Amino acid sequence: MNQGIRNFNFQNPTKILFGKDRIKDIDAEIPKDAKVLVMYGGGSVKRNGAFDRTIKALGEREWDEFGGIEANPTYETLMKAVEKIQQEGFTYLMAIGGGSVIDGTKFVSLAAVFDGDPIDIMGGGVGRQLPVSKAMPFGTVLTLPATASEMNNGFVITFVEKKAKIAYGNPLCFPQFSVLEPELTYTLPKRQLVNGVIDAFVHTMECYLTYPINAKIQDRYAEGILQTLIEIAPTVIDEHNHDYPARANFMWAATNALNGFITPGVPQDWASHMLGHEMTLVHGIDHGRTLSIILPAMMRVRKQQKWDKLIQYGRRVWNLTGADEDIVEGAIEKTEAFFQSLGAPTCFADVELGEECIDELLAGLERHGKVNISERGDFDLVVARRVYETAL
């Protein structure tokens, strides 16, 4: 397993505009003759000024808005945006929001110009996916650091009718640019700040906690993101503490957790995300909160498979010393305690779920083809059941 960095391709063309008062600079990034559809979720972007400042930056460009993109954006909602775009001839999409709005915008950017039925882009959630060859250009204004959707080409869409939450990626789906203003996090409630910290932490862990292949830069980068999140979390989750350096580190850490910088040529897991998606789908648990519940259990159940990396993680991220066994146990306990220190749930009981829900979650995993996942391809429904049970 120590054969070195695997062959990889890396490319991330997204332009980042980071810092204070950057929304005004999108004027230079969008064609002057663009007809822009501004995409957002609830009304928070109107209350915090992000919407108005974006409209102002659009200047003389023709624009309209499409709001109401929900957390865990649905195919059904997004297709209304597709219809509007096709009827009214928009040429550019401008997402303002967190991962859900940006993810939804990515799907719309493909669906609005797809030659065929857009349900087939992601296989309708359960079927064969048809190839796509073009996408509308889009930019983003990020309001919630968490998913890194602002600087990657992936997205997750929920198909309500099919009861499926499906991840998808395509090189056409990098934002052309993303505005990262740390001050936009000042109006976030604690729960969303906590969810963001956990999402970024677990993204990093999914890319890191596998088995060592001697990819030193990738490992150090991942450890640096984890250390950063641990250091800044107490300050960041205090919603009333508008500490700019901490919020800036939070925003850049969350972007770096899933923009591809830590993953070139290394194995990845993503089993925790898959198990979490089913909990969101069936029980509406926040994505971040599913991860703080699943990851510690995943670490316990997959301890042997992740042994070497757990030791490295315990030593470098948590500064643990001693016997290997103690470091491994300590690393798991430290991780769980970190989530608890944020006020996040770390077991089913914390979100008032019990053993009776596991069969349905497993049935969903099976229906969505989420078997044989994880870095070793040895993660089946038997293992999934053990993880859910360990998380009770």
Site for a second copy, rule CB under 8 A: 2-20, 22, 182, 213-217, 219-221, 223-225, 227-228, 231-232, 244-246, 248-249, 252-253, 256, 261, 264-265
CB of 256 to a second copy, least distance (A): 6
CB of 266 to a second copy, least distance (A): 11
User: Given the structure tokens 């870095």, which residue do they identify?
Assistant: 375
The residue among 144 and 248 lying less far from a second copy, judged by its C-beta, is 248
The residue among 312 and 390 lying less far from a second copy, judged by its C-beta, is 312
User: Given the structure tokens 């769980």, which residue do they identify?
Assistant: 336
Are 175 and 97 in contact, with CB atoms under 8 Å apart? no
Q: What would you report as the CA-atom Rg of the chain, rounded to the nearest whole angstrom?
A: 20
Are 202 and 273 in contact, with CB atoms under 8 Å apart? yes
The residue among 47 and 220 lying less far from a second copy, judged by its C-beta, is 220
Are 251 and 179 in contact, with CB atoms under 8 Å apart? no
CB of 251 to a second copy, least distance (A): 9
CB of 306 to a second copy, least distance (A): 20
Name the DSSP letter for residue 131: P
**Angle formed by the axes of helices 358-367 and 381-390, nearest 10°:** 150
Burial of 146 (0-12, 13-18, 19+ CB in 10 A): buried
The residue among 226 and 362 lying less far from a second copy, judged by its C-beta, is 226
CB of 131 to a second copy, least distance (A): 16
Taking the C-alpha atoms of residue 13 and residue 356, their distance in angstroms, rounded to an integer, is 46
Name the DSSP letter for residue 275: H
The residue among 15 and 134 lying less far from a second copy, judged by its C-beta, is 15
CA-based nearest residue to 143, from 179, 185, 104: 185
The residue among 11 and 304 lying less far from a second copy, judged by its C-beta, is 11
Are 136 and 112 in contact, with CB atoms under 8 Å apart? yes
Name the DSSP letter for residue 182: G
At residue 105, what is the residue type? Answer: T
CB of 9 to a second copy, least distance (A): 6
CB of 218 to a second copy, least distance (A): 8
Burial of 143 (0-12, 13-18, 19+ CB in 10 A): buried
The residue among 7 and 304 lying less far from a second copy, judged by its C-beta, is 7
